[in-house]
Amino acid sequence: METRANHVWVGAVSLLILAGLALFVVWIARLGQGDQKDYDIFFKQSVEGLAKGSQVSFAGVPVGQVREIRLWEADPEFVRVRIAVKDEVPVLVGTTATIQSSFTGVSTILLDGARKGRPPITCETTACPEDVPVIPPKAGGFGQILANAPLLLERLATLTERLTVLLSDRNQASIAGILANTDKMTESLASATPQIEGTLAELQVTLREAGETLDSFQKVTDSTDRLLNQEGASLAAQLRQTLNSASTAANSLQATLDETTPAARKINEETIPAATAAIKDLQATSKALRQVTERIESEGAGSLIGSEKLPDYKPK
């Protein structure tokens, strides 16, 4: 009986020693980690691959670990992930959290986006629904792909449907006809290659002749410019002299017109009316003479001195 009691005491002391050793190891580990700050991250996407103790890194540098993962009681649509980060890590306003997945299935949390000069994330600069500052999440990597999977599937289905319509039997026949026509056009172009080469050769000859013509025209232009530069002064002097002579003649003609204007006015006012009256009198005299002549011819010369003969009276 006494031996059995000794064994119990030995076992109890051993358990106490082991517990103390475990506590010492945990204390040493915490001492190595230094002071840490807790932050909450509310993910609306799946957190598959994350687990308690998963690594938290800042710009790729390990700075902490995941302390707790659970559904948020206030809104089960969100998953609350609490992380512990070293106190010296600059978790500033603008820092975001992203779930970084890997091909092994293990996920980590990546912090990024801190900018120099901004205040740290605390309950004074951000919301604290669980008495811990919140780091806003950002979809990325596989998480963003999974979040956009329904939209991608819908677009893929739409694309497949359109490809089915595009590659229908009717459209395939049309495409085959287009390809056949293209082959015919290519063959026709290949057969017309010699003619095209001949046409290009003629075009080269034409261009060369055009160039020669332009050279000749340039020479004629140079000669014309030289002639104008050499004899232009004398031609201008002769033209100026001719213009002066024409101006003198015009002035003389104007003076002559000014002198003849009074005589023309007098003729218009006096001579022309008198001549008009004389012409009218002459016309009247001519008319009277014509009447006398006609009377002599029809009745004789006696009709001019005798009275007009009365008609004979015949009683009834």
- pLDDT tens-digit series, residues 21-78: 877 666 665 555 557 889 999 998 888 888 898 999 998 889 999 999 999 988 989 9
- Give the percent of the chain with pLDDT over 90: 12
**Could you give the CA distance from residue 210 to residue 61 in angstroms, rounded to a whole number?**
76
Cβ 126 vs Cβ 133: under 8 Å: yes
Does the pLDDT value for residue 80 go beyond 90?
A: yes
Residue 127, burial from CB neighbour count under 10 angstroms (0-12, 13-18, 19+): exposed
pLDDT value of residue 313:
47
Amino acid identity, residue 159? L
Model-wide pTM > 0.85: no
CA atoms within 13 A of residue 116's CA, in its CB half-sphere? 0
205 — phi, psi (to 5°)?
-65, -45
Cβ 64 vs Cβ 23: under 8 Å: no
Strands in 36-43's sheet, in edge-to-edge order, are 36-43, 79-86, 61-71, 55-58, 108-112, 96-100
- Please write the tens of the pLDDT for every residue from 270-300: 666 666 766 676 677 667 667 766 666 666 5
Residue 264: which pLDDT band, with cuts at 50, 70 and 90?
A: low
- Give the percent of the chain with pLDDT over 70: 66
Cβ 98 vs Cβ 139: under 8 Å: yes
